[in-house]
Amino acid sequence: MNSNWQPKPGDRIFRPRRIRHYRLRRVLGVPAIFSAGYGNVGSSIYYALGIVALVAVGATPIALGIAGILFIFTALTYAEGTAMLPEAGGSATFARHGFNDAAGFIAGWALMLSYIVTISISAYTIPPYLGFFWVPFKESPIIGTAMSMGIVTFLMTINIIGVKETSIVNIGAAIVDITTQVSLVVIGFILLFNPPVLFHRIIDNWPTAGNLILGIALASIAYTGIETMSQMAEETRQPEKRVPRALIMMIIAVLVIFAGISLVSLSAMTPQELASEWSRDPVAGIAASFPLAWLTGILKPLIAILAGTILLIATNAGLMGISRLAFSLGSHNLLPSALSRVHPRFKTPHISIILFSIIALLILVPAFLAADAFKNMGTLYAFGSLLAFMFAHASILSLRAKKPELPRPFKIGWNIRIKGREMPISAILGLAATAIIWIIILITQPYSRWVGISWMVAGLIIYYLYRRKKHLPLTHKTKDIADLQ
């Protein structure tokens, strides 16, 4: 080829279009990550006690404690995985790199179910707290459920329009929430805590072994937030250091506050009261039990407003999280790109927001009539979240076996050697425990079994048809880990 060639007048020169790879801006620090995660955990405190008490009765603190141990194992797994793979997607990302695209889709689709149920259950527990201002919100299933559906519809609309949530709002809400919850624990231990009464309420109301295990499964709803923090890795400065730090902070805060709240709640009321009258607003039940009238007069409206606000933020965070997850799955050819398509005017993923909001509304419909709708939502959440956690643990173990040379800025300690590879004991125990509990839910809970399986089958059909259309193999890995290093 002649190196002295020059274009002549009239020649048209074609230049290849440059392809840009867009990434999310890395602007977040530890406070922003922690507050976003605690926004989910802090909101779950306002209903988790009641939903666990529905089946675990007197053993509610025990179920929460055992689930807390599993939470530690899972948080450590996510710390290693997110530091190693700092991109959005959470367990779906871990599974995609640890196994293949099909595993990544299954984990992501299960996680999507838990996000949807989070939207439903957070919205469902707002009206009981606002019942302080108007009793029918708490006592009428029709009025309360209709209001919950109205909240989801309202948030769907503003998310389509594109109202933004800032990290400053998250941090402020987390500070107010933690301050209130710690104050309740301290005041509760001073005014209500009675070890002999607590001991007898636990022993005299001990559940069957099956109900205790189910209670542990339902308690997993109390420890949400791990996935939210992992999803934000792609927007975090130095995620390999800051996400693990935020997760460790989360472990400490969650275990301390949940232990305190659960012990104070059973000192304040009987397990039967916690599981019936105060099941959807247990923190309000604690405030109503304080012996000082002036203190109760201050705390009851404060908790009503604070709980309603935090739960509204959590509902909105679920909508935002599911659209982000859909975008991540779509960008890796795990879901049709239509679900991550943005509105031409509002620049939001409107199709996924509308679709998943409608599903969240459908999950709320049985609450108009079914007395066990609250428990069913909890078991359905456990179905999706525990399946996602199983894939997270299994993926970390797989990556330890297949890619031991990968840089691990945060590496879980307490390892055992299996065929020359270091395997974290916490991930092994976490995988075994979550798998056993998930199988028990699958066997004993008809609602979550059939709805959960239907959801997964529908997703696999969509995945199969989409991959066939794109001429992609079902188990192909579209992006290697080396690309992230």
Give the pLDDT band (50/70/90) at residue 37. confident
Both tokens of 351, joined, read: 């199709």
User: What's the pLDDT at 112?
Assistant: 92
Q: What residues have CB less than 8 Å from 166, skipping those under 6 apart?
A: none
User: What's the pLDDT at 122?
Assistant: 92
Both tokens of 350, joined, read: 């409107």
- Mean pLDDT taken over the chain: 85
User: What's the pLDDT at 416?
Assistant: 94
Residue written as token pair 């559906």: 149
User: What's the pLDDT at 22?
Assistant: 42
pLDDT, tens digit (0-9, with 9 covering 90-100), for 111-139: 999 989 999 999 999 999 999 999 999 99
User: What's the pLDDT at 165?
Assistant: 54
Q: What is the mean pLDDT of residues 396-405?
A: 92
CA atoms within 13 A on the CB side of 349: 24
User: What's the pLDDT at 13?
Assistant: 44
Res. 406: pLDDT tops 80 = yes
User: What's the pLDDT at 249?
Assistant: 85
Give the pLDDT band (50/70/90) at residue 243. confident
pLDDT, tens digit (0-9, with 9 covering 90-100), for 65-80: 998 899 899 989 998 9
Q: What angle, 0 to 180 degrees and rounded to 10, lies between the N-to-C axes of helices 91-98 and 293-331?
A: 30
Beta bridge partners of 417: 422
Fold classification of 30-473 is Amino acid/polyamine transporter I (1.20.1740)
Which pTM does this prediction carry? 0.86
Residue written as token pair 């179905």: 383
CA atoms within 13 A on the CB side of 146: 7
- Region for residue 10 given its phi and psi (left: phi exceeds 0; alpha: psi -120 to 50; beta: otherwise): left
User: What's the pLDDT at 208?
Assistant: 92
Whole-angstrom Cα distance, residue 93 to residue 483?
13
Q: What is the mean pLDDT of residues 393-408?
A: 92
User: What's the pLDDT at 26?
Assistant: 58
User: What's the pLDDT at 17?
Assistant: 40
Whole-angstrom Cα distance, residue 441 to residue 450?
11
Q: Which helix (H) or strand (E) holds 424?
A: strand 421-424
Both tokens of 190, joined, read: 């001073």
Res. 24: pLDDT tops 70 = no
User: What's the pLDDT at 202?
Assistant: 94
Res. 339: pLDDT tops 70 = yes
User: What's the pLDDT at 25?
Assistant: 54
Give the pLDDT band (50/70/90) at residue 237. confident
User: What's the pLDDT at 104?
Assistant: 93
| Structure letter (DSSP) for residue 237 | S
Q: What residues have CB less than 8 Å from 432, skipping those under 6 apart?
A: none
Res. 327: pLDDT tops 70 = yes
Q: Residue 21: count other Cβ atoms within 10 Å of its Cβ.
A: 4
Res. 8: pLDDT tops 60 = no
Whole-angstrom Cα distance, residue 154 to residue 148?
10
Percent of the residues in the chain that have a pLDDT greater than 70, as a whole number: 88
3-state secondary structure of 258: helix
Alpha-carbon dihedral 63, 68, 74, 77, rounded to 10 degrees: -150
Instruction: Count Cβ atoms within 10 A of the Cβ of residue 220 and give its class: 0-12 exposed, 13-18 middle, 19 or more buried.
Output: buried
User: What's the pLDDT at 12?
Assistant: 45
User: What's the pLDDT at 337?
Assistant: 78
Q: Residue 179: count other Cβ atoms within 10 Å of its Cβ.
A: 11
Q: Which helix (H) or strand (E) holds 150?
A: helix 141-161
Q: 346 φ, ψ to 5°?
A: -90, -15
Whole-angstrom Cα distance, residue 265 to residue 185?
9
Angle at alpha carbon of residue 189, lines to 188 and 194, rounded to 5°:
105
84-116 burial, b at 16+ Cβ within 10 Å, e below that, comes to bbbbbbbbbbbbbbbbbbbbbbbbbbbbbbbbb
pLDDT, tens digit (0-9, with 9 covering 90-100), for 255-310: 888 888 889 999 999 999 999 889 999 999 999 999 888 888 998 999 999 888 88
Q: Are strands 421-424 and 415-418 parallel, antiparallel or unpaired?
A: antiparallel
Q: 219 φ, ψ to 5°?
A: -65, -20
Res. 1: pLDDT tops 60 = no
Q: What is the mean pLDDT of residues 244-257?
A: 83
Q: 291 φ, ψ to 5°?
A: -75, -20
Give the pLDDT band (50/70/90) at residue 4. low
Q: 348 φ, ψ to 5°?
A: -125, 150
| Structure letter (DSSP) for residue 340 | G
Res. 163: pLDDT tops 80 = no
Q: What angle, 0 to 180 degrees and rounded to 10, lies between the N-to-C axes of helices 239-268 and 195-204?
A: 90
Q: Where are the domains of the chain?
A: 30-473
Lowest average pLDDT, out of 14-18, 177-181, 260-264, goes to: 14-18
What single letter denotes the amino acid at residue 385?
S
Res. 218: pLDDT tops 60 = yes
Both tokens of 291, joined, read: 């012996």
Both tokens of 19, joined, read: 């392809």
CA atoms within 13 A on the CB side of 130: 19
Give the pLDDT band (50/70/90) at residue 15. very low
- Region for residue 7 given its phi and psi (left: phi exceeds 0; alpha: psi -120 to 50; beta: otherwise): beta
Nearest one of 177, 136, 127, 167 to 306, comparing CA atoms: 177
User: What's the pLDDT at 353?
Assistant: 87
Percent of the residues in the chain that have a pLDDT greater than 90, as a whole number: 45
User: What's the pLDDT at 38?
Assistant: 74
Whole-angstrom Cα distance, residue 121 to residue 204?
30
User: What's the pLDDT at 9?
Assistant: 53
Whole-angstrom Cα distance, residue 396 to residue 424?
9
Whole-angstrom Cα distance, residue 264 to residue 11?
82
* Highest-confidence segment of 250-254, 314-318, 357-361: 357-361
Ordered DSSP codes for 110-127: HHHHHHHHHHHHHHHTHH
Lowest average pLDDT, out of 90-94, 435-439, 472-476, goes to: 472-476
CA atoms within 13 A on the CB side of 396: 34
Cα first-last separation, the chain = 38
pLDDT, tens digit (0-9, with 9 covering 90-100), for 191-215: 998 899 999 999 999 999 989 999 9
User: What's the pLDDT at 481?
Assistant: 44
